[in-house]
């Protein structure tokens, strides 16, 4: 009877020791922080040129949401932002979002720009809201984002 108890104890100890030898998966890193910056149609109507200063860390995402009414007015935001230092900041995405209430003719939607900080430093982002064709209004609204990466 004692020999069975010893055998069972040895099996348990061996199993515990072997479980410590198992490979473990890599630790799950937290998702990069996302900094949101957004403005409404009314804010741009009150102040046509908006400047915002922000500070982020390396690897953080910046999501900028700006009002847009390109479907009914012909105005649109630049597809690609002017970035003063592409070593510090890069644009990773641009998408146009339709208005939430599609029943209302001329309802404003939004343009969403995503950027990622790459290294320490400063970079300026400039976006212009214009009618892109020849003779169309240029830079009717502007959005400048001053980004300091710390």
Contacts of 119 (CB under 8 A, 6+ apart): 58, 87, 88, 149
pLDDT for residue 121:
98
Q: pTM of whole model > 0.85?
A: no
pLDDT for residue 129:
93
pLDDT for residue 20:
57
34-149, CATH topology level:
Immunoglobulin-like (2.60.40)
Give 62-100 pLDDT, tens digit per residue: 999 999 987 678 888 988 999 999 999 999 999 988 877
Q: Which region holds residue 106: left if phi is over 0, alpha if psi is between -120 and 50, else beta?
A: left
Question: Beta 141-149 vs 49-56: how paired, if at all?
Answer: parallel
Task: For the chain, give every domain's residue range.
Answer: 34-149
Mean pLDDT over the full length of the chain: 83
Please tell me the least confidently modeled range out of 14-18, 62-66, 70-74, 144-148. Answer: 14-18
Give 115-130 pLDDT, tens digit per residue: 999 999 999 999 999 9
3-state secondary structure of 29: coil
pLDDT for residue 26:
47
């Amino acid at each position: 009877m004692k020999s069975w108890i010893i055998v069972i104890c040895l099996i348990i100890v061996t199993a515990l020791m072997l479980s410590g030898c198992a490979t473990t998966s890599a630790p799950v890193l937290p998702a990069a922080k996302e900094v949101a910056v957004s403005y409404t149609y009314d804010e741009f109507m009150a102040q046509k040129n908006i400047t915002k200063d922000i500070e982020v860390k390396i690897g953080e995402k910046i999501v900028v949401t700006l009002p847009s009414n390109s479907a009914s007015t012909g105005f649109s935001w630049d597809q690609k932002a002017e970035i003063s230092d592409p070593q510090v900041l890069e644009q990773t995405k641009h998408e146009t979002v339709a208005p939430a209430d599609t029943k209302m003719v001329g309802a404003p939607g939004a343009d969403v720009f995503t950027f990622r900080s790459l290294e320490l430093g400063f970079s300026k982002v400039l976006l212009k809201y214009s009618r892109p064709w020849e003779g169309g209004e240029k830079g009717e609204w502007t959005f400048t984002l001053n980004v300091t990466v710390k």
